[in-house]
Structure 1
Amino acid sequence: MSTNPLTKQAKRRLTLTIVIILTFTVMNGTMFNVAIPDIADTFNLLPSQVTWVMTSYILVFAIGALMYGKLADIYPIKRLLTIGIILFATGATIGLFAQNYPMLIAARIIQAMGGATIPALSFIIPARFMPDERGRVFGTISATVAFASGLGPIAGGLVGGAFDWRYLFILSILSVFAIPFLRKWIPDEETRQGKVDIPSALLIAIAISGLLFFITMLSFIGLAVFLLMLGLFIYRTKTVDAPFIDPSLLKSRYYTTAVMTSFLGTSAMFGMIFIVPIMARSVYDLSTIQIGLLLLPGALGAALIGQRGGRVVEEKGSFRVLQVAFLLAIAGSFLISTFVGFPPYILALCIAVQYVAFPLIQSSTANLLTDLIPKERTGVGIGMFNLMNFLSGAISSALFGALLDLENVTLRFNPFAGSEVALYSNLFMMIVVITLIAITMFTLVFKSHRTS
């Protein structure tokens, strides 16, 4: 338990430090998207080969989010976060001096092994050390994620265009300077009783790896591995005394509904972020920097709304805020579907409407989960939340990526859209359907259980 309660000033300082290192982590993922063509040219790679720069990172990052959540129920957060940031900066240093492609992949894997601690523990720290202000801090964290996601492509385009793609790693290396502040402001904790079921952790890691292989490369071998390992994981969970994930957690329909609601909402947000750059290049012929600027108003709006939304969550409760967030997501998706092909500044306003829903969904769901999860299982409960969010990004990107390969689409789901942009309009109508399913499922389950 904590032996050093946080003062109000320490809470502000700790929150600011978390926001800074979280910005580096999120940007590290999105800013490398724009560097993929340059990396392929540097090492003379095929498109199928260079995708491993992102795939390897997402794979390890998703597994790490769950693993660190479980470890946080046993070991002090201060220790885990210190190790994570050191690994993150070490991987970035290797990437900065990478002389060949295997060395670059190794750097990305080491980065992900460490970087996964930051978003995983960023949601656990408020729940554990700032319970009275967790809604506000969750809002700040979620706003940071949304803002950094939009800022990443701009930073990647500026740094990669002016210098070399390797210099993108410097931003990640700088995160190591946060360690002394985090060690000073995070309260001391004792190591708690418990153990990690390593075989179960390996089974779920291999299962997730197989699923991501299937999603990103359409590998049916990966799908078979996923199903086999998932089956073995479920069997072991039912037979061991201390399973990696407590089955009682998954038996709660409120917990599973909240996680699935977040999964669908995050899928909608990642789908939008994935489609918009391709749509902007195809429909408007925008440059990388211009695409970043198209997303920037939404990212700024998300940062502002997310911060205020955290306070609203504390005052009004997660139920109402989450409903409003999904209504914004539905409205924004429909507006984009309707106005694609109009001048870019109009499209930017439509994107902003949907973008501001992202931090509200994240913060209100995280706040809701901390009320649903027993305190001794906060780590693994939030870890599952983070894992599903990362998987949602991979799944939505793969799904919409496959649909973007369609040509000569004339059928329009939205009668107000132009026929020449029917494909993109239809994709955003699909996002409308996804968010409608999410808000309906959430409302039906939680209408008699208003946990705030």
Structure 2
Amino acid sequence: MTETVTTGTTGIPATEADDNRARTKRALPALLAIFLLGTLMIQAFNLVFQNVGDSLGMSANASLISTLPGIVLGVVCMLYGTLCDYISPRKMTLFGVGALIIGSLLGFLGASNFWAVVLARMIQTAGGQVAGSVFLVMAMKYLNDKERAFYLGVFNAVYYASSAVGIFAGGLITSIDWKYLFLVPLIAVLLIPQVLKNTPDTGVKGERIDAFGIAIFALIAGFVAVYFSFPATWMLGVLAVLIAVFAVYVWKGSNPFLSRKFVTNGAYMSVLLALFIFYFFNFACVPIYNVIGDQIYRISLSQVSICLTIVYLVATLVGCLSGTILSTIGRLPMLVLSAVLMIAGSFGSAIFISSGFWTLTVLACVFIAGITMSYTPLYDSFSATLPTDQNGRGIGIGDLMMNTSASIGMAVYSGLMADESFGSRGFLGVQPGTHAQASNMFWVMGLTAVLALVIVLVFHGNMSAQAPREDQ
């Protein structure tokens, strides 16, 4: 009688685990490339949506080209991560590539119709995100600690690299017929053979997908995303009802996809709380520098874009190094360092708001380095605080939390910057008006970073806890 040898981290036969690990390392570059193509589309259309709307005679509704795909992104991040716990990564990825290609062709062929463009962007966004979710889940499930940290850093770096490319293209993109942007993701067709060959075809045999629970949770995520894009009081009532229904279902349901043990996992919830605070003002980084460049220093958008490109290139570099940093100093010191950099960058910007745009660019680099550095230890903590078979759900909800937090932060930022009384008084010699308004915004961002540091110091024991590896 033969004995089955299992690994200490996955609980599956060692030979199968080794095979999945090897295949995963070969598949991740292709998945990363597909994710990059999808993210580039988000950045590109965030820049040109007004041009598209103007050219199609829909100027007043142009923002829908950006906001509706953003809502879709918030929902599918959670959905895909969760489904990765049930469905084969290979099948998930092929579905995503298919949607990316269909969306691209629809957008190019239907470029004369505004609503076809909006629908195409929604399909493109949904398709491109699959590769990102599968990348993260596979890295969590099949790689060892050092490899996982490295690939999380690379994933984070690619996101910021695509942002840098998108911002740099801001001054050039309007000279190109925007419909040809839709054809860029078709490059993904060349990657299908590598996906088919290397992506593990694993799944949970015989386990029922909790369609009802996932649908209710997706509705909650959708309403949250819609509310912060198109606020309406009645949505809060609907959200309250949906949350109540979901809570009862989790506590009373026979086999909900989020079990009682999952939602009462203090260690995992501590990581989610830290993630929420660290990324609260992530979306506000770009618009505040546009305001400063335009209203304080009177410099052109192209000059601002060059400075912001430098900022995001720094973020890309930090992302590339974050895996090595994590392996060298560990999660807690890295999170503390992240928060300290965010505090220094934001408080420094508040104090030196009148010291020149290049000074503020350097401080922006410090701030964005802090945000970027927090990603790898926070996502790495998911693998420590959850059983392996729940990593997909953990990552999906983490993605949802990160996007929701940044959306709320953007709403807070917009509200404060639109309130003239917010700039009626400056601190440390800053003059009232636009200078004080921007400076005070940086003080708020710095205080939020202080709160992030406090949360890390208070909950670091929970966040470093190791979850049992058997199914729960």
- Decide which moves more: 379-388 or 306-315: 306-315
SS across alignment from 1:404: helix
Q: Structure 1 residue 307 and structure 2 residue 320: aligned? A: yes
The 10-residue stretch of structure 1 (367-376 or 307-316) with the greater mean CA deviation from structure 2: 307-316
Q: Which residue of 2 aligns with 1:422?
A: 436
Write the deviation string for residues 395-438 of structure 1: whole angstroms up to 9, x where unpaired: 22222122222236444464253434111111111111111112
* Residue 403 to residue 329, structure 1, CA distance change in 2 (3 Å): same
Residues 1:209 and 2:199 are matched in the alignment: no
Deviations 1:306-326 (A, max 9, x none): 222211212322111111111
Shift in alpha-carbon separation, 1:293–1:175, aligned structure 2, 3 A: farther
The CA deviation at 1:383 is 0.7
Return the alpha-carbon distance in structure 1 between the equivalents of residues 52 and 73 of structure 2: 21
Distance 2:107 2:171 in 1: 18
- Superposition pairs of residues 17-416 of structure 1, within 5 angstroms: 17-47=30-60, 49-97=61-109, 98-132=111-145, 133-159=147-173, 161-407=174-420, 409-412=422-425, 414-416=427-429
Secondary structure at the aligned position of 2:281 is classed as: helix
**Partner amino acid for 1:53?**
I
Say if 1:413 and 1:429, in contact at 8 Å, map to a contact too.
no
Residue 388 of structure 1: how far off its partner (Å): 0.8
> One-letter code of the match for 1:148?
S
1:293 & 1:90 partners in 2: Cα distance?
34
Distance 1:46 1:436 in 2: 41
Q: Deviations over 1:163-205 (max 9, x none)?
A: 1222322333323332222232323324433222222222222
Structure 1: runs of 5 or more not aligned: none
- Report Cα offsets for 1:218-269 as digits up to 9, x if no partner: 2112222222212112122222212132231221221111112112111222
CA distance in 2, matches of 1:6, 1:416: 63
TM-superposition CA deviations, 1:23-56 (whole Å, max 9, x none): 2222222222221221221232354x22221221
Select between 50-59 and 362-371 the one with higher mean Cα deviation. 50-59
Distance 1:416 1:144 in 2: 40
**Gaps spanning 5+ residues in structure 2: where?**
1-11, 467-472
Aligned residues of 2:86 and 2:207 also touching (Cα < 8 A): yes
Cα distance per residue 1:126-170 (max 9 Å; x no partner): 1122224101111111122222223222235422x2212223223
Per the alignment, do residues 32 and 245 of structure 1 end up closer, same or farther by CA in structure 2, a change over 3 Å counting?
same
Instruction: Assess if the C-alpha contact under 8 Å between 2:267 and 2:462 holds in 1.
Output: no
Whether the aligned pair in 1 keeps the contact of 2:26 and 2:198 (CA below 8 Å) is yes
State the distance in 1 between where 2:195 and 2:352 align.
Answer: 45
For residues 192 and 73 of structure 1, what CA distance do their matches in structure 2 show?
11
In 1: Cα distance, 2:26 partner to 2:351 partner: 43
C-alpha distance in 2 between matches for 1:214 and 1:418: 35
Percentage identity across paired residues of the two chains: 21
Change in CA separation of 1:10 and 1:69 when aligned onto 2, cut-off 3 Å? closer
Partners of 1:208 and 1:176 in 2: CA distance: 31
CA shift for structure 1 position 107? 0.8
Equivalent pair of 2:17/2:142 in contact (CA under 8 Å): no
Distance 2:310 2:241 in 1: 45
CA distance in 2, matches of 1:190, 1:408: 56
Q: Specify the code of the residue in structure 2 equivalent to 1:96.
A: F
The question of whether the paired residues in 2 share the 8 Å contact of 1:259 and 1:385 is answered with yes
Cα drift, residue 371 of structure 1: 0.8
Q: Say whether the 8 Å CA contact 2:167–2:305 is kept in structure 1.
A: yes
Distance 2:32 2:403 in 1: 19
User: 2:167 touches 2:309 (CA, 8 Å); kept in 1?
Assistant: no
CA spacing shift, 1:416–1:84, aligned 2, 3 Å: farther
Question: Is the radius of gyration larger for structure 1 or structure 2?
Answer: 2
Shift in Å, 1:4: 7.3
Indicate the larger mover: 344-353 or 90-99: 90-99
- Aligned mates of 1:408, 1:123 — CA distance in 2: 44
How many equivalent pairs are there? 450
CA 1:80/1:410 → structure 2, altered by over 3 Å: closer, same or farther?
closer
Query: Which segment is superposed worse, 176-185 or 404-413?
Result: 404-413
- Tell me if structure 2 keeps the 8 A contact 1:74–1:193: no
- Tell whether the 8 Å contact from 2:345 to 2:363 is kept in structure 1 after alignment: yes
Q: For 2:284, what is the secondary structure of its paired residue?
A: helix
Instruction: Give yes or no for contact 2:311–2:361 (8 Å, CA) kept in 1.
Output: yes
Q: TM-score, normalized by length of structure 2?
A: 0.88
Cα deviations across residues 113-137 of structure 1 (Å, max 9, x unaligned)? 2123133222112112222410111
Quote the Cα distance in structure 2 between the aligned partners of 1:250 and 1:329: 30
Whether the 8 Å CA contact 1:73–1:192 is kept in 2: the answer is no
Deviation at 1:287, TM superposition (A): 3.7
- CA-to-aligned-CA distance 1:42-87 (integer Å, 9 cap, x gap): 232354x222212211211111111111111111112101211220
Q: Residues 156 and 241 (structure 1 numbering): CA distance in 2 closer, same or farther, change over 3 Å?
A: farther
Secondary structure, aligned partner of 2:279:
helix
SS in 2 for 1:124: helix
